[in-house]
């Protein structure tokens, strides 16, 4: 295997920092695996994307685009070791694809139109099939005209269960989103407006959890739940305040942490997932409000948790957050392998282009060669310099990374990510070891920014001479 101790300690002529026991590569060994566990079991789902009407937000009947008629779409579950097979049919008035955000899939299953597959035309069916390599909380959404298609309601959660799921009292999914609605309560059908493009994408006027402005979770005292959060909004960042409950973060972007941490100052950018391990010990019934404080001066109510004070002791088991996550303390002083400058300029089909190293990706009409190439199994130190004042949650397909620094100051987040929020004028450094071969997208997950060009392709190639 690529990451056995044997191969990782092998001296490398090309890059001396890949050799020796304290190298980033040696530290990485034992993090996440190169391959999926082998198994022959297949879990099959049928998924249909279509226009539909459904009671959403505050009970108003809204015209949406949905997977299997619901927003969020159905939560797909597969056990680690099983193969997921999704027979997908497009009944939308537009071509589409499905991208499995955060899942390390074979490149051909990644859902990137004209790069990993042709767009799926209206009326067509495409079968996605892959065996996940990591257990955790992932999601799926279109990768074509996504600023419109995701906004109209096309997204769902994919849960890859541990081989032996822990005995939580409940496993709860909260999908955070916002909607820009007109006076009749319908989706404003003007997408990629100049305002949205110039700012942080489309921010709505109704915030929902599971498409509900008044989401309420009822638990009993003594319950220990796993609460899985996803931000599926086009542009809005959430910073939920969990100080009213006993919650620990156990996973970010699907992957377990090195150790559980407090959910303090947690910014959940578009695309991010956060898994919480929550224990309710109250002896009297009470209700706790969960509030978003991304902008401290304008808090947003997200949901209520109603705790029923029936006292039973919570189930006891060790936190699952004990993954091997490299500290990569020495990595920050290594040479930067690749810098990405994020900026905007006038021009392009939408009037403004969002650029990575002065290039704007022209939507998905044709294939794009990889702008940058990484070698499989080799540590990469990347730097993102945000030359603009806007937010850019940068997402990489097909690989996880660890934040090394913000504005040059070392940060030891005890977890991997697939999406990191880069604030206005901020510089961040990340480290990663790509394991999965193929051409993978890197883009801003503010979908209007992506649509206006802030996307690129990264090639991961095998080491030459192996
Ligand atoms: Cu969720 Cu390419 O994105
Ligand atoms: Cu952006």
| pLDDT single digits (tens) 148-169 | 999 999 999 999 999 999 999 9
Work out the percent of the chain whose per-residue pLDDT is above 90. Answer: 88
Query: pLDDT tens-digit profile of 346-385?
Result: 999 999 999 999 999 977 677 888 899 999 999 999 999 9
Quickly name the fold that domain 170-307 has: Immunoglobulin-like (2.60.40)
Which ligand sits nearest to residue 393's alpha carbon? 2
Supply the CATH classification number for the domain 41-161: 2.60.40.420
Q: Same fold for the domain at 41-161 and the one at 170-307?
A: yes
What are the start-end ranges of the H helices in 118-268? 146-149, 194-198
CA distances to 133, 147, 368, 386, 453 from 362, in Å: 32, 14, 9, 20, 6
Nearest atom of ligand 1 to the alpha carbon of 455 = 2
Atom 3 of ligand 1, nearest CA residue:
101
Query: pLDDT tens-digit profile of 180-195?
Result: 999 999 999 999 999 9
What is the Å distance from ligand 1's center to 453 Cα? Answer: 14
What is the Å distance from ligand 2's center to 367 Cα? Answer: 21
Atom 1 of ligand 1, nearest CA residue:
101
Task: Report the predicted TM-score, pTM, of the whole model to 2 decimal places.
Answer: 0.94
Domain limits of the chain?
Answer: 16-30+325-461, 41-161, 170-307
Which ligand sits nearest to residue 386's alpha carbon? 2
C-alpha torsion 342→348→350→354, nearest 10: 0
C-alpha torsion 151→389→300→60, nearest 10: -20
Structure tokens at 157: 């959660």
What is the Å distance from ligand 2's center to 376 Cα? Answer: 27
Measured distance CA(455)–CA(340) in Å, rounded:
11
* Residue that wins the pLDDT comparison between 343 and 54: 343
What architecture is the 16-30+325-461 domain classified under in CATH?
Sandwich (2.60)
């Amino acid at each position: 295997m690529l990451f056995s101790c044997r191969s990782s300690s092998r001296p490398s002529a090309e890059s001396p920092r890949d050799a020796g026991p304290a190298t980033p590569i040696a530290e990485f060994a034992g993090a996440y695996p190169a391959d999926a566990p082998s198994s022959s079991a297949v879990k099959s789902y049928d998924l249909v994307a279509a226009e539909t009407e459904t009671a959403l937000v505050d009970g108003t009947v809204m015209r949406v685009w949905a997977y299997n008629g619901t927003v969020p779409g159905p939560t797909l579950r597969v056990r680690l070791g099983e193969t997921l097979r999704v027979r997908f049919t497009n009944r939308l008035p537009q071509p589409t694809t499905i991208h499995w955000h955060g899942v390390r899939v074979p490149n051909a299953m990644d859902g990137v139109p004209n790069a990993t597959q042709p767009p799926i035309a209206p009326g067509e069916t495409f079968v996605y099939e892959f065996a996940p390599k990591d257990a955790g909380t992932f999601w799926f959404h279109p990768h074509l005209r996504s600023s419109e298609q995701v906004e109209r309601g096309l997204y769902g959660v994919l849960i890859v269960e541990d081989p032996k799921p822990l005995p939580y009292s409940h496993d709860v999914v909260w999908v955070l989103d916002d909607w820009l609605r007109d006076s009749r309560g319908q989706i404003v059908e003007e997408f990629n407006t100049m305002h949205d493009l110039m700012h942080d994408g489309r921010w709505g006027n109704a915030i929902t959890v599971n498409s509900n402005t008044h989401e309420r979770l009822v638990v009993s005292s003594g319950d220990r739940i796993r609460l899985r959060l996803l931000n599926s909004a086009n542009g809005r960042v959430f910073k939920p305040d969990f100080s009213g409950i006993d919650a620990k973060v156990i996973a970010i972007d699907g992957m377990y942490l090195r150790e559980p941490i407090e959910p303090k100052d947690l910014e959940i950018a578009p695309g991010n997932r956060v898994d919480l391990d929550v224990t309710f010990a109250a002896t009297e019934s009470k209700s706790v409000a969960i509030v978003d404080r991304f902008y401290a001066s304008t808090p947003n109510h997200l949901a209520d948790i109603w705790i029923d004070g029936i006292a039973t002791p919570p189930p006891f088991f060790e936190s699952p957050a004990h993954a091997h996550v490299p500290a990569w303390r020495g990595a920050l002083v290594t040479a930067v392998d690749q810098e990405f400058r994020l900026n905007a300029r006038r021009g392009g089909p939408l009037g403004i282009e969002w650029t990575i190293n002065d290039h704007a990706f022209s939507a998905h009409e044709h294939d794009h060669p990889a702008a940058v190439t990484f070698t499989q199994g080799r540590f990469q130190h990347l730097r993102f310099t945000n030359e603009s004042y806007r937010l850019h949650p940068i997402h990489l397909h097909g690989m996880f990374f660890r934040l090394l620094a913000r504005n040059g100051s070392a940060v030891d987040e005890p977890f991997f990510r697939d999406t990191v929020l880069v604030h206005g004028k901020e510089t961040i450094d990340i480290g990663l070891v790509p394991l999965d071969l193929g051409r993978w997208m890197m883009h801003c997950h503010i979908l209007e920014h992506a649509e206006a060009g802030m996307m690129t392709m990264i090639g991961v190639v095998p080491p030459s001479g192996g």
